Structures are given as C-alpha cells and as structure tokens.
C-alpha cells in the first residue's frame, strides 16, 4: 500500500507545470485543459508550495490508489461499507513541522478563484473532520469554504452528518470543533465523499489504505495530511456563501451559511495543496462514484442478481444511472429502478439493461435502447417525487418527475435474436 499522497503521485502519470501559476483563474484554466492529474510546481505567492488537481480524475486512478481491480471496484467498495477497519494512533506527524496561531489564511493557504463571474477565494479539496456530539464517532466529509477575511470562512453545509452535528451543538449553545485537512491520499478522499449511516469514514478508508491518526483537540487526524486547520463552526454567526458552480455546471445560489473560525494552522514543509475544479470531472467523480456502492447494496436487497451500477458523466454523475441485472423474473427491471430511486433520491433517470451491455459505454446502452426497448412497455414515469436541489429544472417546491427505462429482454425472448455479432 502507498504510505502517503506523495508516494502515490510517484506511481501515476502526472502532468507537471513548472512555470509560475496564479491561483486566480490560472489553476482552473490548467485543470480544464488537461485530462489527467496536474501538479503545479510553482504557485505564485506561495514559495515552496505545490498543488495537485484532477487527483481523483478517473476510476482507473481511484482503483490503482485503492489496490482494487477496476472491474470489481464497486463490489469491493460496497462490501467494505459494512466491514471498516480500526486505525492506529501516533504522537507525531509531519504537518507539525510548521504552525501558526490566529492566522491570516490568505497568507498561508493558496486560496483560489475558479471563475471570472465569481471572484471569491475558495477551498474545494478540503475535508472537515468532526466528532458526533457529545462524544461519538468521527466523521469526515468534503466541504467548500469561502474566505471572508483573516482567519474566517463561510462553510457550505448540506443536510448530512456535519450539519446534524452543528445543529445539535447550536441548540445547546455550543460551537462545533473541527479539523480541516487538505492534501490526503485518494482513499481518504473517496471515503470522505461517501454517505452511509453510522460510518466512520476514516475507518472505511483504512480498509484500502494503511495510515495512522494523531489526536488534536479530541479529533482523529490522518498523520500524512499536508495541511491541517483547527477551528470551530460558530453556532451564532452566519454569512453569505456563493455563488458557486456545482456538478451540473450551473450556478448554485447565494445563501446564508455558518462561519468557520480558524485558530491554528499546521502544514508540512514543501506542502501540497489539493485543488478540485468546480463542476469538473474530479468534482463529479468524487460526488458520484461513492454513491454507487450504496445504490448497489440497496438494489441487491431487491434484485440479488444486480451486476453493475453507474452514475453517468452526462447525468452529472448524480442524476442519471445505468444498472445491469441478470434478470430471472419479469418485473425485476422495474424493481431495480425503483430501488435505485429510493437509494439515491437525487436520481432522475434509471436505465436498466442486461449483463451483456457495458454500462460504462454510452454507445452500448443506446444500442440496448434501440434494439431491446418498446417505450410503451418499458418506460415508467414517477410523478411528484422530491428531486435534487442541484437540478435547475425542478420546481420551486423541489418536486420533479422521474423515469425508469427497463431495456432488459423479456424472459420469453429468443436471446440469439438479440445477440450482437460485433
């Protein structure tokens, strides 16, 4: 197993940019241009710093990082969800080499402007570590942070675990103590992007990647993190956050969000900062791919012979899914689609195909629609369902229509009549 982000970057193909690069728009330009991981060797204004972007750019890169065969990636991830592994502790970490109290964050952190229409400084590859109150399990989750001056960010909280922790603390008049890490191994990135009940995401990452943690302020922090910010989400202060480009490529709205106040920053010598391009491939993959194992597990409870689950790039890796099943009974295609909609409520379209169709190949999926589907029998519309807040076509009520396309062969079909000879 790789022992750090740094060693992993030596194992993969990386585009290295040696010229000075500004964090104001130029980082984003390079990440749009290259379809591979990009290492920035010279970040303007931050001597000795490096930056990595497009780190989790493809399933191949993620499978390599996790030491999993690409063809069994989703199945292995699904199996690991219920079998996390405890990690060990140590009293030392490389990021303790440098620290500053009550920092001016812009002087230490290479904050970035990603789009000309929103010239606000953001962090995007930041993972927030918190403990379930009052003294429960650890949680790790990605959150974008918008710098509002000195040592303060506005943090975007969606209604998941960290929001629930914050809400509980707020009701009790308390701030939420957090550690914010950046520059970690892809296994920790993937785990932090995963949503699953009662999961310690660090223990999930430990299944695929051997690491230890150090305790600071009662929080477990991976020792090989490049940057660590210690701070608190204030229970009694909010500020405007946004606009921001989300995975649909459209603008997320401005809203009031909690303020995160940083009181201490640690960083490694010659540190590496992780930039995630908003709306880019890495953003989509880190949001979508971790949902697939959870969808797979829930669909398998309904249709045990499910084979593959894929959230498609064209569906923003969030709104459209292709599922293959080895159908044994009529109606299983529809059941698989309904289970997927329940497993991932943001889904808008589910296409169910036979196992001989490669779900990752849009041409093969379209071929199945062309040769195996009769729309009057295979298309099923669900009306008045709650949709994704990321879908700009949903009404103000958040309601949407969803559809299931069952493009599997009928049980009485002569399979040789549908066999491809290419």
- What is d(CA 357, CA 346) in angstroms, rounded to the nearest whole number? 24
Q: 306-332 as b/e, with b when 16 or more CB fall inside 10 Å?
A: bbbbbbbeebbbbbbbbbbbebeeeeb
- What is d(CA 416, CA 422) in angstroms, rounded to the nearest whole number? 14
Both ends of the chain: CA-CA distance in Å?
A: 39
Check: CB of residue 160 under 8 Å from CB of residue 141: yes
Of 153, 165, 140, residue with least CA distance to 237: 153
249: left (phi over 0), alpha (psi -120 to 50) or beta: left
Complete DSSP assignment for 278-334 = TTSHHHHHHHHTTHHHHHHHHHHHH-TTEEEEEE-GGGTTTTEEEEEE---STTHHH
Task: Kindly give the interhelix angle for 291-302 and 281-288, rounded to the nearest 10 degrees.
Answer: 30
Q: For strand 127-131 and strand 138-142, is the pairing parallel, antiparallel, or unpaired?
A: antiparallel
- What is d(CA 190, CA 276) in angstroms, rounded to the nearest whole number? 13
- What is d(CA 202, CA 185) in angstroms, rounded to the nearest whole number? 11
C-alpha Rg value of the chain to the nearest Å: 22
Known catalytic residues are 246
Q: Given the structure tokens 């943690």, which residue do they identify?
A: 213
């Amino acid at each position: 197993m790789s022992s750090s982000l740094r060693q992993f970057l030596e194992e993969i193909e990386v585009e290295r940019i040696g010229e000075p690069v500004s964090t104001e728009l130029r980082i984003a330009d390079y990440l749009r241009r290259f379809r591979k991981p990009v290492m920035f060797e010279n970040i303007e204004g931050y001597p000795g710093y490096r930056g990595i972007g497009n780190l989790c750019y493809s399933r191949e890169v993620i499978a390599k990082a996790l030491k999993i065969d690409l063809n069994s990636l989703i199945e292995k991830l699904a199996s690991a969800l219920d079998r996390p592994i405890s990690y060990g502790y140590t009293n030392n970490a490389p990021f303790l080499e440098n620290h500053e109290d009550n920092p001016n964050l812009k002087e230490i952190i290479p904050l970035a402007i990603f789009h000309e229409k929103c010239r606000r400084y953001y962090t995007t590859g930041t993972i927030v570590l918190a403990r379930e109150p009052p003294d429960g399990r650890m949680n790790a989750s990605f959150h974008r942070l918008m710098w509002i001056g000195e040592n303060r960010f506005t943090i975007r909280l969606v209604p998941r675990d960290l929001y629930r922790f914050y809400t509980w603390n707020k009701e009790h008049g308390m701030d939420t103590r957090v550690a914010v890490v950046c520059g970690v191994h892809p296994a920790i990135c993937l785990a932090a992007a995963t949503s699953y009940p009662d999961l310690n995401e660090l223990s999930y990452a430990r299944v695929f990647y051997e690491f230890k943690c150090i305790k600071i302020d009662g929080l477990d922090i991976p020792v090989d993190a490049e940057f660590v910010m210690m701070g608190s989400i204030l229970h009694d202060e909010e500020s405007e956050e946004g606009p921001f480009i989300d995975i649909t490529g459209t603008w997320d709205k401005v809203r009031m969000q909690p303020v995160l106040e940083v009181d201490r920053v640690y960083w490694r010598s010659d540190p590496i900062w992780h930039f995630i391009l908003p709306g880019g491939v890495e953003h989509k993959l880190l949001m979508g791919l971790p949902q697939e194992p959870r969808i797979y597990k829930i669909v398998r409870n309904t249709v045990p012979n499910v084979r593959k689950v894929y959230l498609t790039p064209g569906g923003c890796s969030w709104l459209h899914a292709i599922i293959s099943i080895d159908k044994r009974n009529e109606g299983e295609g529809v059941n698989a689609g309904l289970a997927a909609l329940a497993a991932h409520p943001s889904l808008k379209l589910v296409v169910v195909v036979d196992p001989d169709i490669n779900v990752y190949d849009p041409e093969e999926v379209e071929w199945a629609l062309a040769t195996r589907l009769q729309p009057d029998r295979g298309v099923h519309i669900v009306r008045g369902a709650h949709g994704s807040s990321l879908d700009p076509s949903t009404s103000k009520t958040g309601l949407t229509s969803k559809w299931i396309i069952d493009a599997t062969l009928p049980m009485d079909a002569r399979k040789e009549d549908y066999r491809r000879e290419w």
